[in-house]
Amino acid sequence: MAEAKDEALSPTVTKVLDAYFEVLKGDSDIDDEAAGRLDDLLRQGKVPKLADIGAALFPAGDDEAG
């Protein structure tokens, strides 16, 4: 179970994020590293911006067509 990094996360949110991370890791279509980055982002306790979600799931240069 991932450790909460931010005190502002309520137990309920932590519970959701823990279960969510497990499901992401179990999905073969989703890269483990991407799941990890998304998990880190969500545990910052803020509502992420769209660009941040994109950057977590698809790092810059990651097969982006020109």
Identified binder of another protein from the candidate list 47, 55, 60, 61, rule CB under 8 A: 47
Site string for another protein, 2-31 (x = CB under 8 A): -----xxxxxxx-xx--xx--xx--x-xx-
Return the axis-axis angle of helices 32-42 and 50-57, rounded to nearest 10°.
Answer: 150
Neighbouring residues of 61: CB distance < 8 A, sequence distance ≥ 6? none
Cβ-based neighbour number of residue 3 at 10 Å: 7
Q: Are 56 and 21 in contact (CB under 8 A)?
A: no
**55 contacts another protein (rule: CB under 8 A):** no
Residues that bind another protein (CB under 8 A): 7-13, 15-16, 19-20, 23-24, 27, 29-30, 34, 38, 42, 45, 47-48, 50, 53-54, 57-58, 63-66
